[in-house]
Amino acid sequence: MREFLTTGSCLMELLTRELDDPASAPCGRCANCAGPFIPDQAPDGLAREAIAFLKRAYLTVEPRKQKPQGGRIPINRRAEEGRALCYYWDAGWGAAVRRGKYVEHRFGDELVQAVADMVRTDWQPGPPPIWSG
């Protein structure tokens, strides 16, 4: 059965042959018969655009509405809506966040700049934050 992982022959023929089908024959439609359905390489420009898109896929963080011990938080006591630069494991900034938190034990300048850009261009909270060094 390992042949399924590496075969260059028709996938349907291989499957039907394994099931003892006497009419087993190439299908002409699977990836091995017809060839790849999509290219396996992307043009450099398109790959750069995809990475830039992922790095701008900011997330909205909804404020908590319920207390951990139960009961609703009054509207005038709730935090405001927030933003996040990325999901922890995402393909945009996720690797930089992991590296900063667990390897370098600090967030690099590129990541800090990305957060500042997100606040200025996408979020634009009012009043704006005051940056201190």
Domain containing 50 equals 44-123
Judgement on whether residues 113 and 60 belong to the same structural domain of the protein = yes
Separation of alpha carbons 1 and 68, rounded Å: 52
What is the tens place of the pLDDT at every residue in 83-131?
999 988 888 899 999 999 999 999 999 999 999 999 999 999 888 888 7
What's the pTM value of the predicted model, to 2 decimals?
0.60
Judgement on whether residues 22 and 50 belong to the same structural domain of the protein = no
How many structural domains comprise the chain?
A: 2
Whether residue 5 is predicted with pLDDT greater than 80 in this model: the reply is no
Judgement on whether residues 20 and 53 belong to the same structural domain of the protein = no
96-128 per-residue burial string, b: 16 or more CB within 10 A, e: under 16: bbeebeeeeeebeeebeebbeebbeeebeeeee
Judgement on whether residues 68 and 92 belong to the same structural domain of the protein = yes
Phi, psi of 93 (to 5 degrees): -100, 0
What is the tens place of the pLDDT at every residue in 6-49?
778 899 999 999 999 999 999 999 888 988 777 778 888 998 89
Residue 131 lies in a domain: no
Cβ partners under 8 Å of residue 89, min gap 6:
98
Residue 130 lies in a domain: no
Judgement on whether residues 53 and 85 belong to the same structural domain of the protein = yes
